[in-house]
Amino acid sequence: MRLSSNKTYHSHTGGCNLASRRWLGAALAPLMAAALTMTACTNGNSNPGGEAGGAANTPASAAKDDGTEQVTLKILYSGHGPQADTQKVFDEFNKRLGKYLPNTTVDITVVNSEQFEERLRLMLSAGEQVDVANLGSGSGNSKNDLAVEAKKGTLLALDNYLEQTPKLKAFIPQSVWDKSKVGGQTYMVASYGPISDKFIGLKFQKELTDKYFPNIAELEGTLVKDNGRLTQKTYDHLTSYLQTLKEKGEIRRGVSVETMKWLPERAYYSFYNYAFVAEKEDKNVKVLHYFEQPDVKMMYKTHADWYKAGYVEKDILSMQNRRQYEKKLDGNVLSMTTQYITSPKFPEIDSDLLDTASYGFPVKTVAWAKNYFESPSIPVGFVIPVTSKHPERAMKYLEAVNTNYELVELLTYGIEGEHFTRDSIGKPMPIHKSKEQARYSWPSGFAGSMLAPTDLNKDPYSDYVREFQNPEALPIPLKNFKLNITPIKNELAQYDAVRNEYELALYSGASDNWENTHTAMLDKMKKAGLPKIMEEIQKQVDAYLAENR
């Protein structure tokens, strides 16, 4: 059952320690300034704890919790609503929670994601008890983020409570805790998912590279050496290979330009839809216009050359699905993947092995870089508002559901035998064939995952992220920056219209003269307000760096 936009789902049972976890990362819990002021007054808190150097916020009730008192936690989160067996699973969850956190029940309110922000604002402005709420980082264009909310004074600093939850503190790496800090204090129990970008790779049909790409090792060496920076040498290797395929009558559907257009992006992180970016290794964070960068122009030129040489589908501009040939033997001979994984320790998630089994023919992927980089955004996670009556218990609850796989599995998949079975290595497999048929499935019912399971046999990807991807990520200067688009929203709307007019013709290679098309696009972008946009973004970046360095 899906919630309508104007309803909520409220669950309260004696043991309904529900869910805190695999929860909808997409949901933001933005709190309006006026509501926050009222909340602070309600709790007698005159000092916003998020300000650097300021005292931490304190809850309405700060009595010491020794765990013997029966407590009901009030939890608010965003979701798509209950399924047929939601309450049944929640009841079972409460029974199991008791052995990890005695004397605790949970009263959960599920609010449709479209209504979540307003509902939380109203609850806090009225001083209502909210012990745990989920908060997200958004897409990068949201005005609401952890730093904003902490500085408004609506969230409790969690550092003291963390000392009482050592398993939780140890479970989440320090690099993730660091992303949850504002003004030196911790305000979020973040989802321990990837906090770095993903490996990208060039994907080939292995039977063709074995025959016609004898120097593919040189390409691999070039990519590792350049560490994700697009160079002419890379394109020379690829052009030579494509030329050979064309001569041998093996070009098939050629290049997937719809994915290959992403190649220059690896060197940058984006402030707005990969239009305004900064180089990942630029400690001074100079804002750049992506479409004027040399490697982007190199991509446009190369794709134009490939199109003229017959390595790109001639009807690319009119195709409804420009990626329809990527996974077919008679389809694309070169494409790009944004989720490449290879590790001898985790063969069950090796991208080439999985893709080979899925596509029905051998696949060969060449990694685009040797290092991960941190993601600029903070993960989604959970916060404890200042209206919490039981912050210590709320923190212990978050510890319980973070560090005990039994609870995670139950919330995610439901009850074994009723909602899921197990495969040969013990991984849960949903019984339902689709989300519409599911009587319970957290990803289907609530559209999100907040916790990476700890059991290798059940979720090897999570262990890969934990052991390799996150620890090896290189730092970037901007960790939690969010662009406020309000001052430039009109200019961005006009800018986006120009981009939509020209971009396909450029990256597809199908433009009659890519240079003239590129110049025309830039001219229109400048008239649409490009200089003002650049100036505003740089101003916000500089202000953020001045405050957070």
Residues 76 and 107 in one domain: yes
pLDDT of residue 86: 82
Residue 425's pLDDT is 64
From its phi and psi, is residue 142 left (phi > 0), alpha (psi between -120 and 50) or beta?
beta
Same domain for 175 and 232? no
Which of 342, 367, 392 is the last residue in one of the domains? 367
pTM to 2 decimal places: 0.67
DSSP 280-308: TT-TT---EEGGGSHHHHHHHHHHHHHHH
CB 198 within 8 A of CB 338: yes
Beta bridge partners of 367: 201
Same domain, yes or no, for 134 and 211?
no
Residue 365 has a pLDDT of 95
Nearest to 27 by CA among 63, 73, 79: 79
* Residues 204 and 334: beta-carbon distance below 8 Å: yes
Answer yes or no: is 438 within a domain. no
153 plus 209 within the same structural domain: no
| Residue pair 181/188 in contact by the 8 Å Cβ criterion | no
Domain residues for 351? 201-266+294-367
Query: Is residue 412 domain-resident?
Result: no
Together in a domain, 75 and 108 = yes
Q: Is 179 exposed, middle or buried (0-12, 13-18, 19+ CB in 10 A)?
A: buried
149 in the same domain as 81: yes
* Residue 38: predicted pLDDT: 32
In a domain, 81, yes or no: yes
pLDDT given at position 454: 42
Same domain for 215 and 78, yes or no, is no
Do the domain assignments include residue 471? no
Identify whether 362 is part of a domain.
Answer: yes
Domain boundary among 344, 367, 390: 367
Q: Which of 404, 419, 453 is the last residue of a domain?
A: 404
pLDDT in tens, the chain (549 residues): 223 333 444 444 333 333 333 333 333 333 233 333 333 333 333 333 333 334 456 555 556 888 899 999 998 877 666 778 888 988 898 899 999 999 998 887 777 766 777 888 889 889 999 999 887 643 333 434 677 678 788 899 999 999 999 999 988 878 778 778 888 899 988 876 666 777 789 999 999 999 999 999 999 888 878 877 899 999 999 999 999 999 999 999 999 999 999 999 988 989 999 999 999 889 899 999 999 999 999 999 999 999 999 999 999 999 999 999 999 999 999 999 988 888 888 887 889 998 999 899 999 999 887 777 777 665 578 899 999 999 999 999 999 988 887 887 887 788 999 998 887 767 777 887 666 677 887 543 333 334 444 443 456 766 777 677 777 777 778 876 778 898 999 999 999 999 999 999 999 999 999 999 999 999 999 999 999 999 999 999 999 899 876
Give me the pLDDT at residue 233, please.
95
Three-state SS for 326-380 is CCCCCCCCEEEECCCCCCCCCHHHCHHHHHHHHHCCCEEEEECCCCCEECCCCCC
Give a yes or no: residue 300 inside a domain.
yes
CATH of the domain at 126: 3.40.190.10
* Same-domain pairing of 92 and 154: yes
Q: Please state, in angstroms and rounded to a whole number, the distance separating the CA atoms of residues 32 and 41.
A: 14
User: ∠ CA(166), CA(171), CA(176), 5° rounding?
Assistant: 110
Helix, strand, coil percentages in the chain from 3-state DSSP, rounded to 5: 40, 15, 45
Q: Name every residue whose Cβ is closer than 8 Å to that of residue 270 and which is 6 or more positions away in sequence.
A: 140, 276, 277, 290
* One domain, residues 168 and 142: yes
The answer to whether residues 345 and 384 belong to one domain is no
Residue 393 shares a structural domain with residue 361: no
Question: From residue 76, how far is each of 133, 217, 382 by CA, in Å?
Answer: 5, 53, 10
* 184, 38: one domain: yes
> Considering the domain boundaries, does residue 444 fall inside one?
no
3-class DSSP state for residue 519? helix
Q: What is the 3-state secondary structure (H, E, C) of 150-188?
A: HHHCCECCCHHHHCCCHHHHHHCCHHHHHHCEECCEECC
In a domain, 271, yes or no: no
How many distinct structural domains can be found in the chain?
A: 3
DSSP secondary structure letter of residue 255: B
Return the structure tokens found at 539.
């101003």
> Which pLDDT belongs to residue 174?
81
